[in-house]
């Protein structure tokens, strides 16, 4: 599938490297708040500046962050290194195999742990303060479809093509956004049913 969002594409090794709460917190903070230093990040990610710096270097090895500081100024004046996220997101690259599927699951578990109850926080903190037009558009959908693996790929690509202009808009200066635009989180799970004849199913 085309990478329309410009995400960093991770192999199994890269997913395992990111499957750590502190590293995921660092990357999330850099993606949302922009460039920062290990010292500035340390308090918000729950690690010391030296540990945060080590995790930043590991993220750089896998192409998720990069040095955003002036190297000459750092050498001349001892300034701390600044880091920035390479992109707004990441995804798995290549055809899934047992090794990569296990790595992806490990990363998903860490992401779910770090994210916590996203919907619960939204209901408690944001929903009560929403204006009526926004509240009417909030909600959830639970839609079951009958598709082949290839058709599901087509659905995923169509959704990504639809969302791409609004995902990429995040990188534009905020004063160029439409007047009524605001952040909206779109949560979507793709949950294929297991084959009832597979081991562990109802007939086993």
- The pTM of this model reads 0.76
pLDDT over threshold 80, residue 151: yes
pLDDT in tens, 42-82: 999 999 999 999 999 999 999 999 999 875 555 555 678 99
In the chain, the percentage of residues whose pLDDT exceeds 90 is 61
What is the SS3 assignment for 118-158? HHHHHHHHCHHHCCHHHHHHCCCCCCCCCCCHHHHHHHHHH
pLDDT for residue 78: 61
pLDDT for residue 115: 86
What average pLDDT score do residues 142-160 get?
94
pLDDT over threshold 60, residue 204: no
pLDDT for residue 21: 94
pLDDT for residue 131: 96
pLDDT for residue 88: 84
Average pLDDT for the chain = 88
pLDDT for residue 95: 60
Q: Do the Cβ atoms of 19 and 100 come closer than 8 Å?
A: no
pLDDT for residue 110: 92
pLDDT over threshold 80, residue 15: yes
Sheet holding 65-67, edge to edge: 36-37, 82-85, 65-67
The pair of three-digit structure tokens given for residue 11, joined into one six-digit string: 């192999």
What average pLDDT score do residues 109-129 get?
92
Categorize the per-residue pLDDT at 99 as very low, low, confident or very high, splitting at 50, 70 and 90: confident
């Amino acid at each position: 599938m085309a990478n329309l969002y410009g995400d960093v594409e991770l192999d199994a090794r890269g997913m395992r490297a990111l499957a750590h709460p502190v590293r995921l917190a660092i990357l999330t903070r850099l993606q949302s708040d922009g460039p920062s230093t290990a010292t500035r990040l340390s308090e918000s990610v729950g690690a010391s500046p030296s540990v945060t710096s080590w995790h930043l270097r590991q993220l750089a090895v896998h192409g998720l962050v990069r040095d955003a500081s002036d190297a000459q100024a750092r050498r001349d004046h001892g300034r701390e290194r600044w880091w920035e996220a390479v992109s707004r997101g990441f995804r798995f690259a290549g055809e899934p195999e047992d090794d990569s599927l296990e790595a992806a699951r490990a990363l998903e578990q860490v992401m779910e742990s770090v994210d916590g109850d996203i919907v619960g926080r939204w209901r408690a903190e944001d929903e009560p303060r929403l204006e009526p037009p926004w509240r009417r558009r909030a909600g959830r959908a639970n839609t079951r479809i009958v598709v082949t693996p290839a058709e599901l790929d087509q659905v995923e690509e169509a959704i990504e093509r639809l969302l791409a202009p609004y995902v990429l808009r995040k990188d534009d200066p905020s004063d160029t956004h439409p007047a009524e635009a605001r952040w909206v989180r779109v949560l979507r799970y793709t949950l294929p049913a297991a084959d009832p004849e597979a081991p562990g199913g109802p007939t086993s």
